Amino acid sequence: MYFDMELKPADRPALQTDTGICITYGELREQIAEFRHAVRQRSFVFLLCENTPGAVIGYLGCLNAGAVPLLLNAELDETLLQEMYERYQPEYVWMPKKHAETWKPCNLSEKQNKADENINKSDEKNCTIGYEKAEYVLYQTEAPKCELHPELALLLATSGSTGSPKLVRLSRQNLESNALSIMEYLKLTESERAITCLPMQYTYGLSVMNSHFQAGACVLLTTSSVVQQQFWDYFKSAEGTSLVGVPYTYELFRRLHLFDDRTQKPGEQPWYQHLRYMTQAGGRLPEPLQQKVGTWAKEHDIKFVVMYGQTEATARMSYLPADHCLEKIGSIGIAIPGGTFHLEDVDPATGVGELIYEGPNVTLGMAECRADLSKGDERQGVLHTGDLARVDEDGFYYIAGRKKRFLKIFGIRVGLDECERILQKAYVEVDCEFVCVGTDDHLQIYTTDSTCAETAAELLADRLHISNRAVQAYYIAEIPKNASGKTQYNKLQDKVKE
C-alpha cells in the first residue's frame, strides 16, 4: 500500500473529525479495500475534495487500486467543473452526496461528442451509481477507457479555484519520496496530530496528509476555517501538534493575535499547549511577519519551519531549519533530503540565476487534455523552477523573483516581487498588502490602504529611479486570492471597479 500503510498498527488513529468520528489505520485499510473493488484498475477518476473522511478514502482508494484521481475542489464553480469534465472525460466521479443535487456527472455535450471520435455516439448516455461511503457517492460515466501511462498515479490542477485545464502529472515515486523526505526533516513520529488548515486538493495541504500517513500519525480533519472559533476549539480539544499555512494564513493568525500572549486569559488553557511545530510555504512570508512568528516560536520552544515548493515538484523542494529561522530571514533554506539545487545563467554582478532543482519528487510533466495522460516522464528528475535566486556563503538560497515577474520600464529591468518588498518595508507600520503588476513602461500598484495608495507610486518611482508617469497606484478593499492563498492577478482591476 501507499505510504507503507499496511505496516501501521490496526488500532492506531489515522483520521479524526471535528464531528467525533475516529477511523483507525485498520478501519481505513478496510475502507480502502472496499473502494478498490468499486473502480476498475487503471481507470481515470474525478475526485471532488473536502477535508472529510470520504475524500480521503477516495484518494487512498484510487491510489491503491491503481486508478488515477484528479483532485478538484468540491466547491469549484459548476460551469468550470463542467468544462473540465468535458475536456478530460473521467470514467468515474467521486463526489459528496450533497453536491449531487446541483451538479451531477452527465454525458459530454453534443458538441464535444461530435468533436471527439473516441466518445460513444449513442443518444442515451447516463451515469450509474456504483458505490457510496462516508457521505460520498461514486458515479460511473460512459466515457471510454482512458489511456494512462504506467507511471501516472495522480493529477493535480495548477489552479484549484479557477479550474485551470493545465494539470501536473505525478508518479508513485513522486508522492512517496516527498512524503518520506518531509517526514525526515520535520522529524515526524506516530504521535503527531496534524490539523487540516489547507484544502487537500492543494499540493501543500495534500503533502501534510501524505507525510503524516507515512509516519503513522493522525490527521485531524475539519472543514472549518482558521478564522472560525470552532477550528480552535477543535484544535485544542484534539490536542493538535502542528499548524501549517501559506503567507495569507499567517497573516490571519497575526490578526487573530495568536502570537500575542497578553491576550491569553488567566487560567485558560493556551491554544498552543500541545503545539510542536509550524510550517509555512506557498509564497514568500513578509520579513516582519517571519520575525514576529519566529521570535514567538523560539520563546515557546516551538519549531517554525519555512519551506519552498511547487506542485511540479510534488510539494517541497527546500526547508529552512527552525534554528536558522531568525538568522536567515527571507531564505528558502536548503534542499530537502534527496534533492539538490544549482543556479543557471548567473548574473556575475548580482549572483542571481535561475534556480534548478533535481530530485525524485520532480513530477512527470504537464497535461492539457485527455490524450496527455498517456505521456511518460518528460522532466527526468530535473525542474527549471522559473524562480530567480541567489545562494549565500553558507549554502542557503534566497528567491530574488520570478523570471516572468519582470518589466522593462524605459529600458530599466524592474522585478515586480522586489517592488512589493520595497513597499512592504516602506510601510511596515501600516496594516496593508501590496501587489505589483503591469506591462512594459506601465507599473501598477494595488494596495489595501487608501492612504498608501496616495503616496506609494511616487515612493516606488523614487526608489527605482524611474519616471512617476510609469507608476500608478490603486486602492482596493482586499487582494483577490484563491483557496490556497495565491494572488489572482487577473482580478485586481475588477476590485478597483467595485
DSSP 31-98: HHHHHHHHS-TT-EEEEEE-SSHHHHHHHHHHHHHT-EEEEEETTS-HHHHHHHHHHH--SEEEEEGG
Predicted local confidence at residue 374, as pLDDT: 98
Instruction: Write down the domain spans for the chain.
Output: 2-146, 172-402, 406-497
Q: Is the pLDDT of residue 36 over 80?
A: yes
Q: What is the mean pLDDT of residues 37-60?
A: 97
pLDDT digits (tens, 9 = 90+) for 357-369: 999 999 999 999 9
Using alpha carbons, list the distances in angstroms from residue 441 to 405, 407, 436, 461: 14, 8, 13, 12
Q: Is the pLDDT of residue 121 over 90?
A: no
Q: Does domain 172-402 have CATH number 3.40.50.12780?
A: yes
Same fold, 2-146 and 406-497: no
> H-helix or E-strand containing 245?
strand 242-245
Task: Give the confidence band of 269 by pLDDT, cuts at 50, 70, 90.
Answer: confident
> Looking at per-residue confidence, does 203 or 115 come out higher?
203
CA distance 339 to 316: 10
Among 104-118, 191-205, 337-351, 371-385, where is mean pLDDT lowest?
A: 104-118
pLDDT digits (tens, 9 = 90+) for 290-324: 999 999 999 999 999 999 999 999 999 999 999 99
Give CA 438 to chain center in angstroms: 26
Beta-bridge partner residues of 412: 409
CA distance 216 to 25: 8
Q: Is the pLDDT of residue 159 over 70?
A: no
DSSP-derived letter for residue 182 is: H
Q: Is the pLDDT of residue 266 over 80?
A: no
Predicted local confidence at residue 264, as pLDDT: 67
Predicted local confidence at residue 413, as pLDDT: 66
Q: What is the mean pLDDT of residues 159-168?
A: 67
Predicted local confidence at residue 439, as pLDDT: 79
- CATH fold for the domain made of 406-497: GMP Synthetase; Chain A, domain 3 (3.30.300)
> Looking at per-residue confidence, does 121 or 30 come out higher?
30
CA distance 425 to 412: 22
Q: What is the mean pLDDT of residues 214-230?
A: 97
Q: What is the mean pLDDT of residues 189-216?
A: 97
Task: Give the confidence band of 282 by pLDDT, cuts at 50, 70, 90.
Answer: confident
- pTM of the predicted model as reported, rounded to 2 decimal places: 0.83
- CATH fold for the domain made of 2-146: Rossmann fold (3.40.50)
